[in-house]
Amino acid sequence: MYTKGLLVVGNTDINISESQKRNPATEANLLVGDIIENANDIQLNDISDLDNIISSNNGSPIPLNVKRGENHIQLSITPAFDFSEKKYRLGLWLRDSTAGIGTLTYINPTSHEFVALGHPITDNDTGIILPVGKGEILECHLNSIDKGKKGIPGELKGSFNSKANSYGTILDNSQYGLYGTMSNNLINPVYTKPIPIGSQDMVKEGKATILATIDDTGVKEYEIEIVKANKQSSRAPKGMVIKVTDQRLLDKTGGIVQGMSGSPIIQNGRLIGAVTHVLVSDPTKGYGLYIDWMFN
């Protein structure tokens, strides 16, 4: 996924002589977490766009359109000439993309919309929810599993590349998941036909199942227990506390691991939510998001 604009994750001083330094980012009042959307009235799709502007600007001030929180502000940054590298630089640490492994929760068979993860993709350094410029969901090969242990979350490890089969386009990265549209059909070998959704008032504490892919053998259904079903009158995460009870899954993963976020939770033949988080203190337990908040 490429971000909409460039995310500022840090800055550094630039040596302009043997004894002098400048920090263009600080001078321009750029802050960590700012998103630079335009420079010189040019939309920034990746870091190379900004590099080209710096190279052609010969040290002149560069006007910036910056998103800070929910606000858009206008700033200006003046590049510094790096004494050692003999070129103009801004002294910014920037991020323009991210990639990772997660689980597709559902596809709407009528609209071909998909939802995944059940939580947003955030930047590791700033915690900012990354705005979507463009992105796609790709075929992934799972290579190994780091089992979850008390105090240490586990992880699904896999590989993919830009030439892998693309199944859909990412349109939005929201508090309640990753949204987009499918371009290729996917077949669920466990549930070959669509199932209804179940709102939170249908959710009961007790037995349920999740669907998860933990290796290249594909989707499997595993037993869990809904330990607690919190009643929520408005959108909020962590609606359900769940516990993995299926010994097959416990033997392989230790419970819930990173990469299983988005795994569908099914009870009484209905899709009721998605796995979103693991309890670090007990990897057999985690949280689920009600399907109400994902679907609406």
169-181 pLDDT, tens digit each = 999 999 999 999 9
Active-site hit among 34, 96, 246, 292:
246
- CATH (residue range 200-295): 2.40.10.10
pLDDT of residue 208: 97
Q: Is-catalytic flag, 141?
A: no
**H helix or E strand, kind and range, residue 137:** strand 136-138
Taking the C-alpha atoms of residue 173 and residue 196, their distance in angstroms, rounded to an integer, is 24
Q: 185: which residues sit within 8 A by CB, 6+ positions away?
A: none
Which of the residues 261, 263, 277, 292 is marked catalytic?
A: 261
pLDDT tens-digit map of 269-278 = 999 999 999 9
Q: In the CATH hierarchy, which top-level class contains the domain 2-97?
A: mainly beta
pTM of the predicted protein model: 0.86
* Whole-angstrom distance, CA of residue 126 vs CA of residue 29: 17
Q: How many CB atoms lie within 10 A of CB 187?
A: 8
How confident is the model over 202-214, as a mean pLDDT? 95
Q: Report the helix count and the strand count for the chain, using DSSP H and E.
A: 4, 25
The question of whether 261 is a catalytic residue gets the answer: yes
Per-residue tokens: 20: 């002098």
Ranges of each domain in the chain: 2-97, 104-182, 200-295
pLDDT at 227 over 80: yes
**Of 96, 119, 263, 277, catalytic:** 119
Catalytic site includes residue 112: no
